[in-house]
Amino acid sequence: MANSERNKATVLNFHRVNHDDGGMDVAEFQRKMMFLKSHFNVISLPEMMQLIAEKNVPPLSVVITVDDGYEDSYSVITPILDELNIKGAFFITTIGIEQGLLWNDKIFNAVHRTSKTSIQGVFNRDQSIATTAQRKLAYQELHIAYKFMSLAEREESIAQLISILDVDVSDNVFLTKNKIVAIKNAGMTIGSHTHQHPILSMENDDVALQEIIKSKKILESITNSNIQYFAYPNGKFGRDFTNTHKKMLLTLGFHCALATDWGCFTPGSDVLAIPRYTPWDKNVARFGIRLCHHFNKNKVKHYG
């Protein structure tokens, strides 16, 4: 076996399955999990950390992670993983447990549910939303604009949007406490994804720290266990999080943290900025080819 295939793992990152935004459907997710189970060494996140420390990672090792904490993590993703004896890791944004949805869902619902045919006073122009395509485009523009706001600015902007569009955005698309416990009882790993999904670098240090602490405490109360794993919202080192946030996690006792930078995880990698990568191909064969290419590139990121 070539050296480039030894002692490294690829952490794959997924979000929602079977959502109406044109993303991955159930059949595609199931096909990909079956393919991975057949052709790769699918290991759990805790196993990866242990094997990396021992420098004993099997060739073509893959870890499955799922971010945010939507209800389909329980009703769709966990049953598929469980049937294949795959132990995934689920990173939960805890405000969704309280509100039933996240900030981006409020934007999506506002734009798609309103009876109005234009958005006035938000863009530098009046934005028509008379057609489905225009509503989709408006949502994409608003999502990008609001993502990199501070929490306070984002909350104010979304409240203004809801008022302008005069619409009820409430929803119940998130995991409940009981469903989180059920996922854990199925042998999956539960991790933190902050409380309100801020870009940590957009907040002052006190706010960022409290976002991490609050989510950790809520999940520990629900699961009655120590939360040891963290995933950065958005997750690009230097833009979305910094060494300051890594030090916060270390102080709080997290074992590792996952980013979204490209690369494999090796014994020399930073455990507080583990790269994640997911081939975007819907075709399973192309998905597998791109994943193999990723392993062979052997590009490893180190952070100071």
293 Cα distance to chain centroid: 23
Q: Are residues 192 and 259 in the same domain?
A: yes
Sign (positive/negative) of CA torsion 195, 201, 207, 212? positive
Q: Does any domain span residue 186?
A: yes
86/214 same-domain check: yes
Residues linked to residue 191 through DSSP beta bridges, in sequence order: 91
| Residue-level pLDDT at 143 | 96
- Once rounded to an integer, what is the mean pLDDT over residues 79-92? 98
Q: How confident is the model at residue 300 (pLDDT cuts 50, 70, 90)?
A: very low
3-state SS record for 50-73 = HHHHHCCCCCCEEEEEEEECECHH
Given 131, 146, 165, which residue is the final one in a domain? 165
Instruction: Decide if 55 is inside a domain.
Output: yes
CA distance 53 to 33: 26
pLDDT tens column, 184-221: 999 999 999 999 999 999 999 999 999 999 999 999 99
Taking the whole predicted model, whether its pTM rises above 0.85 is answered as yes
Q: What pLDDT sits at residue 303? A: 40
Q: Is the pLDDT of residue 60 over 90?
A: yes
| CA gap 105, 25 in Å, rounded | 18
User: Does residue 209 lie in a domain region?
Assistant: yes
Does 137 lie in the same domain as 273? Answer: no
Q: Is residue 270 one of the residues assigned to a domain?
A: yes
The model's pLDDT over 22-38, given as tens digits with 9 standing for 90+, comes to 678 999 999 999 999 99
Tens-place pLDDT, residues 141-180: 999 999 999 999 999 999 999 999 999 999 999 999 999 9
24 and 59 both lie in a single domain = yes
pLDDT of residue 129: 97
Confidence of residue 1 (pLDDT cuts 50, 70, 90): very low
Same domain, 218 and 122: no
**Do 63 and 201 belong together in one domain?**
yes
Q: Is residue 88 part of a domain?
A: yes
Q: Residues 194, 270: one domain?
A: yes
What's the total number of domains in the chain? 2
- Residue closest to 169 by CA, chosen among 112, 122, 210, 123: 112
Is residue 72 domain-resident? yes
Q: Which tokens go with 303?
A: 């952070």
**Of 42, 86, 83, 55, the residue nearest 189 (C-alpha):** 86
148 and 285 in a single domain? The answer is no
For residue 184, give the CATH number of its domain. 3.20.20.370
- Domain extent, residue 258, equals 3-97+172-297
Q: What integer pLDDT is reported at residue 123 of this predicted model?
A: 80
Question: Are 153 and 241 in the same domain?
Answer: no
